């Protein structure tokens, strides 16, 4: 995908020491503040958790965000960070997010062991001392205080200067000044020095595919996309279940929490130290692997296997998690999480426990007379899907070529398309049982969506949820 600016012009912007400052328009009321990052440790098990400061850093580039929308009103995420001025008590900044720790603590391992995870929150550098608060949802979905710490931006232990980096981000799609746009950074992992051109070409392809899907297609001018990769000694990232172990700049690997398809970066500090060389609010890591896999954490990052036959789907589906906090709507694939004992209303915008059908959270999209729950050929779908999952397990166990897995997925999607073509409510917004990794008790808005299967579009509700986040981070150009 071509940059909205000419390639040389975008490159000239990057020649400035501070990219965001270089792109600030003449009409800007004030220069962007610095970017402050709080790195901390998040430890615990299934029943308890603790926090501890690791370090506070002033990043090399100015704050890339929209200073007119510093407070998050979208009600997304398991957690929320709040930055509060100590003297006045004024809320200066907030954002919802989720964490790898929170996912891990729902696994069986967390019932018998403790682990620690590195995490970070970023915010505009305040002028005076602040309190940084980490909130967490309780059993009623309300945010309550989990941890707080006082932070003096002028304290002597704040890291204000770091070793300069030789790495410069590649402008992929530049629409305007960072404070006015959503800044997406595509990071590469598992690319050698000789594969940097391959990485750039892949990043351009992935960005183009993202902007081919609604609502990103219609909102492409609200985005800047940058690409950045640090070379690795070997091609690809680790797949421990197959005995493949590669050195990785970001600790990215398959087999997270025992799931052969789950890919996450495990070195948060390395991730942040690489990413800070570009303006960003969202990160997608593309790994130089063929094997189907990916992952996404709301407000943290997402990953996708860039060489998979299903790379487009993986990139966009996982970005849906990271960018908009969308829930997985599928439920027949094995999940790493322990099933919950009670059906609580999910915070995610595209899943519901349907406790009050008359006031379902996406009511504005439901046509009068639509049955809630909404009938669909659930039993037929599940029978075919169970057989597909058995074949999938067998293919991985036998370490069959990836082409056979791709062929299986193509047959599955073709079967679904034929089956769903016979459903009267195929395009209706309703409440279709089966979502959030559970066959019963949770419902999704439409029959098909990129969060449910490998089809190529988001449902109406997910599109609306994505647009809400775009609005939070972008602002229209002055007339």
Same domain, 206 and 315: yes
Q: Is 339's pLDDT higher than 90?
A: no
Q: Among 20-29, 73-82, 385-394, which stretch is predicted with the lowest mean pLDDT? A: 20-29
Same domain, 377 and 290: no
- Domain finish residue from 113, 140, 160: 160
What pLDDT does residue 82 have? 98
- Domain finish residue from 275, 309, 324: 324
Model confidence pLDDT, tens digit, residues 225-257 = 999 999 999 999 999 999 999 999 999 999 999
CB atoms near residue 200 (< 10 Å):
17
CB atoms near residue 156 (< 10 Å):
6
Q: Among 6-10, 69-73, 111-115, 259-263, which stretch is predicted with the lowest mean pLDDT? A: 6-10
Which whole number is the average pLDDT over 115-136?
Answer: 98
What pLDDT does residue 340 have? 61
Same domain, 51 and 127: yes
Same domain, 141 and 215: no
**Cβ distance 50 to 43 under 8 Å?**
yes
Residue 165 maps to a domain? no
Residue 17 maps to a domain? no
What are the residues whose beta carbons fall under 8 Å from the beta carbon of 399, sequence distance 6 or more?
A: 242
Q: Is 279's pLDDT higher than 60?
A: yes
Which whole number is the average pLDDT over 24-52?
Answer: 84
What pLDDT does residue 334 have? 72
Order the strands of the 115-124 sheet from edge to edge.
49-62, 34-44, 115-124
Model confidence pLDDT, tens digit, residues 59-115 = 999 999 999 999 999 999 999 999 999 999 999 999 999 999 999 999 999 999 999
Model confidence pLDDT, tens digit, residues 138-184 = 988 999 999 999 999 999 999 999 988 999 999 999 999 999 999 99
Is 144 exposed, middle or buried, given 0-12, 13-18 or 19+ CB atoms closer than 10 A? exposed
**Cβ distance 42 to 116 under 8 Å?**
yes
Same domain, 78 and 45: yes
Kind and range of the H or E run holding 14: helix 7-15
Same domain, 319 and 183: yes
Q: Is 20's pLDDT higher than 70?
A: no
What pLDDT does residue 2 have? 42
Same domain, 189 and 71: no
Percent of the chain with pLDDT over 90: 89
Residue 348 maps to a domain? no
What pLDDT does residue 6 have? 43
**Cβ distance 239 to 262 under 8 Å?**
no
Q: How far is CA 298 from CA 101, 277, 319, 436, 445, in A?
A: 12, 21, 9, 15, 20
Residue 12 maps to a domain? no
Model confidence pLDDT, tens digit, residues 291-306 = 999 999 999 999 999 9
Same domain, 395 and 453: yes
Residue 229 maps to a domain? yes
Q: What is the mean pLDDT of the chain?
A: 92
Same domain, 41 and 182: no
**How many domains does the chain divide into?**
3
What pLDDT does residue 29 have? 53
Rounded to whole angstroms, how far apart are CA atoms 10 and 109? 47
Residue 351 maps to a domain? no
Instruction: State the CATH number of the domain containing residue 227.
Output: 3.40.390.10
Same domain, 187 and 306: yes
- Domain finish residue from 278, 304, 324: 324
Smallest CA-to-CA distance from 286 within 311, 321, 320 is with: 311
Which whole number is the average pLDDT over 279-289?
Answer: 98
pLDDT band at 16 (very low <50, low <70, confident <90, very high): very low
Q: Is 425's pLDDT higher than 80?
A: yes
Residue 4 maps to a domain? no
What pLDDT does residue 475 have? 86
Same domain, 420 and 454: yes
Instruction: State the CATH number of the domain containing residue 73.
Output: 2.60.40.3250
Q: How far is CA 396 from CA 273, 310, 390, in A?
A: 35, 17, 10
Name the pairing type of β-strands 223-229 and 182-189.
parallel
Which whole number is the average pLDDT over 199-209?
Answer: 98
Residue 63 maps to a domain? yes
**Cβ distance 223 to 184 under 8 Å?**
yes
| DSSP codes of every residue in 26-87 | TT-SSPPPEEEEEEEEEEE-SS-EEEEEEEEEEEEEE--S-TT--S--S--SSEEEEEEETT
What pLDDT does residue 17 have? 35
Q: Among 208-217, 431-440, 443-452, 468-477, which stretch is predicted with the lowest mean pLDDT? A: 468-477
Which whole number is the average pLDDT over 373-387?
Answer: 96
Q: Is 15's pLDDT higher than 50?
A: no
Percent of the chain with pLDDT over 70: 92
pLDDT band at 477 (very low <50, low <70, confident <90, very high): low
Same domain, 149 and 273: no
What pLDDT does residue 22 have? 38
**Which residue segment(s) compose the domain that 258 sits in?**
170-324
């Amino acid at each position: 995908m071509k940059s909205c600016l000419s390639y040389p012009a975008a490159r000239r912007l990057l020649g400035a020491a501070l990219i965001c400052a270089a792109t600030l328009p003449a009409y800007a009321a004030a220069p962007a503040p610095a970017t402050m990052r709080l790195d901390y440790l998040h430890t615990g098990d299934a029943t308890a958790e603790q926090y501890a400061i690791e370090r506070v850093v002033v990043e090399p580039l100015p704050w890339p965000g929209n200073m007119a929308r510093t407070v998050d009103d979208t009600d997304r995420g398991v957690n929320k960070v709040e930055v509060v001025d100590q003297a006045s008590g004024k809320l200066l900044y907030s954002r919802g997010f989720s964490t790898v720790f929170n996912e891990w603590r729902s696994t069986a391992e967390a019932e018998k062991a403790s682990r620690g995870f590195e995490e970070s929150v970023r915010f505009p550098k305040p002028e005076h001392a602040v309190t940084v608060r980490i909130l967490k949802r309780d059993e009623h979905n309300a945010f309550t205080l989990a941890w707080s710490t006082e932070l003096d931006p002028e304290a002597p232990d704040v890291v204000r200067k770091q070793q300069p980096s030789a790495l410069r981000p590649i402008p992929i799609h530049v629409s305007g000044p960072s404070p006015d746009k959503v800044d997406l950074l595509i990071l590469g992992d598992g690319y050698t020095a000789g594969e940097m051109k391959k990485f750039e070409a892949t990043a351009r392809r992935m960005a183009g595919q993202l902007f081919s899907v609604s609502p990103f297609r219609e909102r492409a001018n609200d985005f800047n996309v940058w690409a950045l990769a640090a070379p690795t000694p070997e091609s690809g990232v680790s797949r421990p279940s197959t005995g493949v172990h590669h050195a990785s700049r970001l600790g990215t690997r398959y087999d997270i929490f025992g799931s052969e398809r789950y890919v996450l970066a495990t070195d948060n500090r390395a991730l942040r130290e690489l990413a800070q060389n570009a303006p960003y609010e969202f990160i997608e890591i593309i790994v130089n692997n063929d094997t189907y896999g990916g992952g996404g954490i709301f407000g943290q990052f997402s990953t996708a296997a860039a060489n998979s036959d299903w790379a487009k789907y993986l990139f966009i589906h996982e970005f849906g998690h990271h960018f908009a906090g969308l829930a997985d709507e599928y439920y027949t694939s094995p999940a790493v999480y322990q099933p919950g004992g009670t059906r609580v209303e999910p915070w995610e915008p595209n899943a519901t426990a349907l406790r009050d059908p008359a006031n379902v959270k996406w009511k504005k999209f439901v046509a009068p007379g639509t049955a809630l729950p909404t009938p669909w050929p659930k039993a037929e779908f599940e029978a075919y899907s169970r057989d597909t999952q058995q074949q999938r397990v067998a293919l991985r166990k036998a370490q069959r070529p990836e082409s056979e897995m791709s062929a299986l997925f193509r047959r599955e999607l073709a079967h679904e398309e034929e089956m769903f073509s016979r459903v009267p409510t195929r395009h209706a917004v309703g409440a279709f049982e089966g979502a959030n990794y559970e066959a019963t008790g949770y419902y999704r808005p439409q029959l098909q969506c990129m969060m449910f299967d490998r089809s190529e579009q988001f449902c109406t509700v997910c599109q609306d949820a994505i647009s809400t986040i775009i609005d939070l981070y972008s602002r229209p150009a002055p007339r």
